[in-house]
Structure 1
Amino acid sequence: MRIEWPGFRLQAREGILEFQWTAFGVLEVQAARCCSLKVRPDGQSGGLQLFFDFRTADGRPGGLIVARADVPAEYARAAAEFVRELQHRYGISDAPDDDGAEDELPRRVPYESQEWISSPVAAPAEELYAELFGRISAERAS
């Protein structure tokens, strides 16, 4: 199976999903690692955005790899059919629909969480941030 439009190609063969962004590069991932596929409208353009979320080897959804493909409006119908076929063939689930709600703002991950993937910020950096933010908040707008 294959779908393409200017600047992008997605091919599914022998259990491998191959994403090719002409100007950027290629990503090959085992289709079995795809834990969800979300289709969203792309604003006013009439196009779509496809979000593929891949899980780790031990099966936990980790959000370690998320691939996004922007679909031009003239390819939206073919892309939607392609997505349905991918989901059927490889057992990829739909991500829950959020009814077009805005994404939640990024939040700081607690240090004790297993989701924390970078080093904790040092206390002096936290103090500096708090001081600067306090100063900025206290200044009058000119």
Structure 2
Amino acid sequence: MEWDGFTLSLTSEGLVELQWIGAGVLEAKPSHCTSASFRPPSATRPGHELDFRFRFPGGASGTKTAWVRVDVPPAMVDQVRRFMAVLWRDYSVPDLPEESRPAAEAPGAGTGAGVPASAAVAAPPPPAVVEPADPAAGAATDAVELERVPEGSVAWILSPAGERSEELFADVMERLASSDR
């Protein structure tokens, strides 16, 4: 799709491409996209806006991340919504809520306001407890508690996890809970 000298597409090679016609191009694998958000208008943002964050392994001059914001004209809103749904659903690219941004990106430090409550991300499931099915003689019988890293923690890599990641996490925890280790 194209508007005002800008093109947004998924290429035949499977790359997310953002192109400013006559100025520059950013191409990246969807797996390098740590979040892709479609922001509605707010008190501090008069129109719709796309917010992409990319993380690249290595990189020139130590630059490993890229953050791109793009204004979306009203005529393109429906097409952009469909495009973003493909990224979220088919490529498991998460939609990072604005309130989970690092402090340096918080409203006032950049542009944007909080996400409406209707767009809030569900809380992560409680920690799972995995107990050995039949512990060997002399082995410790204490349950091993596995916990998820809390959102907002320094150790958190992506927030929120994509739907497929949540399904994988639940499946692995279920298999661990019912295994014969």
TM-score range, shorter chain: 0.5 to 0.7
Aligned to 2:90: 89
Deviation at 1:105, TM superposition (A): 2.9
Aligned to 1:30: 29
Deviations 1:25-70 (A, max 9, x none): 1111121100111221245786311011011328xxx972012221
Deviation at 1:5, TM superposition (A): 1.9
Distance 1:32 1:23 in 2: 27
**Matched residue count:** 99
Please provide the CA RMSD for this pair. Answer: 2.8
Structure 1 residue ranges without an equivalent (≥5): 107-142
* TM-score scaled by length of structure 1: 0.58
- The one-letter code sitting in structure 2 at the alignment partner of 1:54 is F
* TM-score scaled by length of structure 2: 0.47
Partner of 2:40, secondary structure, is: strand
Structure (1/2) with the larger strand percentage: 1
- 1:12 lines up with 2:10 in the alignment: yes
Distance 1:66 1:7 in 2: 19
- The one-letter code sitting in structure 1 at the alignment partner of 2:25 is V
Q: Check 1:28–1:84 CA distance in 2 against 1; reply closer, same or farther (3 A cut).
A: same
Structure 2 residue ranges without an equivalent (≥5): 100-105, 111-181
Aligned to 1:70: 71
